[in-house]
Amino acid sequence: MSAISSHPNLTALLTITRREMTRILRIWAQTLVPPAITMTLYFLIFGSLIGRRIGDMGGYDYMDFIVPGLVMMAIIQNSYGNISSSFFGAKFGRHIEEMLVSPMPNWVILGGYVAGAVLRGLLVGVIVLCIAMLFTHVRIPHPLITITTVLLGATIFSLAGFINAVYAKKFDDVAIVPTFILTPLTYLGGVFYSVKLLPDWAQVMTHANPIFYMVNAFRYGLLDSSDVPIGVAYALMIGFVLVLGALGLWLLKRGIGLRS
């Protein structure tokens, strides 16, 4: 009797995903609690305290307006952070070699890590959404758009985190991109304000920010309101997934940062 399952690649993919989930739950104090605390403070300070003085934003109560952006921000940051730290940790600890010497195709390695990162993003997203419900009434008029936006956004930033980890040579390299690129793009991506409040030149620049499209697509799913056409947002998100996915596979094939 052959010990190999009838779908060995699926078994391998589920193994990596399971391992990632085990890691996320084992270190829950680092992976799940911090975004819950941070987002609670955001809701409390920006939504409840300052938000009352701001009034409406884009036709919605300010608290309602920032919920989609903050949930998306948490998903993006955690998907990115999960894969960049886990994959770089595997490189640093050399247990990435367990996978590199195995018969797994590259797409399984990439897919397994991305699935783990997306699951953490989803888990954190649900936690943050539950916290938001303590402050406002959350309704989901477009559930399909909401869930697909979350999946696409989490996948894009998982792939970006993976590429970061492949090139990283030390832990500082994993922190540089979130600090100098991801955080500014997130804050300037329309999480806290409508792009219509900005001067024309700033509106044009905002349209070059991929996070802006994700936040607005997600806001459309929750509030039925968006600063950009939803079709454009989807086209860009799918395009990013394809380009970053292809880049990730190419890096694995060439063994850049992994094989000497």
Partner 1 sequence: MSSIPALEIHELRKVYATGVEALKGVSLIVQPGDFFALLGPNGAGKSTLIGIVSSLVNSSSGSVKVFGVDIEQDREAAMRLLGLVPQEVNFNFFEKPFDILCNYAGFYGIARAEARLRAEQELRRAQLWDKAHTMARTLSGGMKRRLMIARAMMTRPRLLILDEPTAGVDIEIRRGMWRILKEVNAAGTTVILTTHYLEEAESLCRNLAIINGGQIIENGPMKTLLAKLDVEGFLLDIDGELPATLPQINGVQVRAEDSHTLDLEMPRAMDLNSVFASLDAAGIRVRSMRTKTNRLEELFMRLTGGKEAAA
Name the residues that contact partner 1, by CB under 8 A: 3-5, 7-9, 11-12, 14-16, 18-19, 22-23, 26, 90, 93-95, 97-105, 255, 259-260
Listing DSSP states for 170-205 in one string gives: SHHHHHHHIIIIIHHHHHTTTSSS-GGGS-HHHHHH
Minimum CB distance to partner 1 smaller for 229 or for 255: 255
Distance CA 23, CA 124 (A): 15
Tell me the closest approach of the beta carbon of residue 81 to partner 1, in angstroms: 17
> Tokens in use for 224?
């039925």
Tell me the closest approach of the beta carbon of residue 35 to partner 1, in angstroms: 21
Minimum CB distance to partner 1 smaller for 20 or for 64: 20
Tell me the closest approach of the beta carbon of residue 4 to partner 1, in angstroms: 5
Minimum CB distance to partner 1 smaller for 97 or for 224: 97
* Longest pairwise C-alpha distance within the chain: 70
Minimum CB distance to partner 1 smaller for 36 or for 100: 100
Tell me the closest approach of the beta carbon of residue 163 to partner 1, in angstroms: 20
> Tokens in use for 121?
């993003």
Listing DSSP states for 11-57 in one string gives: HHHHHHHHHHHHHHHHTHHHHTHHHHHHHHHHIIIIIIIIHHHH-EE
